[in-house]
Chains A and B, each alone.
Chain A
């Protein structure tokens, strides 16, 4: 079935560093989303992107909707300990059954 390829699968960084992760697909999506999941919790929406080329920020987070509509990236600047968690990209098509397709997740670990 549909799948999003998310990379990297895991990241180990120092506090204060910037982080970048991305998501690609062989299919076009009309909406790209980025979620964060803390241990023992459900995913929480961070940023939603609705137009090709759109660049959106949420505090230290910035995400972009790729021009081809087949990719998206998420950047986190000046990482802090509470950024630790698993980040998921998700795509939504407007046609057909409305369901989110998720990437495999990027596990972020921060060394203080």
Chain B
């Protein structure tokens, strides 16, 4: 079974649309993250949730709204998509406090905004 899974793998949509990306982890971790990887492969954290509570919000536009219905899920909803939102979005999870040797990344969701 996949430890951290994301759906969909690919997402192609028009500017102005609203879309969601789902993430699930079956590792029993307390903390989940969203990262954005741009076209130059630069990885930057967006959000972090611990036990369903937001603990890191890296000055991400409020068009991005994470939602954690339970510890095992962290979804990312994006409103009014813009061209600059095109990127690969990675979900990750770890125990809390962060144990860096046990932070697992999902396979990524490639978002293309046309």
Q: Pick from B44, B55, B58, B105: contact of A43, CB below 8 A.
A: B105
Q: State whether A42 and B92 are in contact (beta carbons under 8 Å apart), knowing that A92-B100, A97-B56, A98-B98 are contacts in the complex.
A: yes
* Minimum Cβ distance to chain B for residue A6 (Å): 10
Of all chain B residues, the one with the shortest Cβ separation from A43 is: B105
Asked whether A40 lies within 8 Å of B101 as measured between CB atoms, the reply is: no
Checking A43, A44, A100, A105 against B45 with a beta-carbon cut-off of 8 angstroms, the contacting residue is A100
- Segment touching A, from B11-19, B35-43, B69-77: B35-43
- CB-CB < 8 A to A42: which residues of B? 4, 90, 92, 105-108
CB distance from A31 to the nearest CB of B (A): 5
Q: For B43, B45, B105, B106, which residue has the most chain A Cβ atoms within 10 angstroms? A: B43
Q: How many B residues touch A, CB cutoff 8 Å?
A: 22
A74 close to chain B: CB less than 8 A: no
Which residues of chain B from 87 to 114 have any CB-CB distance to chain A below 8 Å in the complex? 90, 92, 97-98, 100-101, 103, 105-108
CA distance A51 to B16 in the complex (A): 47
Closest to A44 in B: B105
Query: Are A48 and B42 touching (Cβ within 8 A)?
Result: no
A65 CB within 8 Å of chain B: no
Interface string of A74-88 (1 = CB under 8 A from B): 000000000000101
B68 within 8 A of A: no
| Residues of chain B with a CB closer than 8 A to A48's CB | 100-101
In the complex, the answer to whether B42 meets A100 with C-beta atoms within 8 Å is: no
- Taking A33-B100, A102-B42 as given, write out 14 further A-B residue pairs in contact, using a Cβ cutoff of 8 Å, ordered by the A residue number: A40-B108, A41-B107, A42-B4, A42-B105, A42-B107, A43-B105, A45-B103, A98-B48, A98-B97, A99-B58, A100-B45, A100-B100, A102-B43, A104-B40
Task: Across the A-B interface, give the 9 residue pairs with the lowest CB-CB distance, nearest first.
Answer: A42-B105, A102-B43, A98-B98, A48-B101, A105-B41, A99-B45, A43-B105, A97-B56, A42-B90
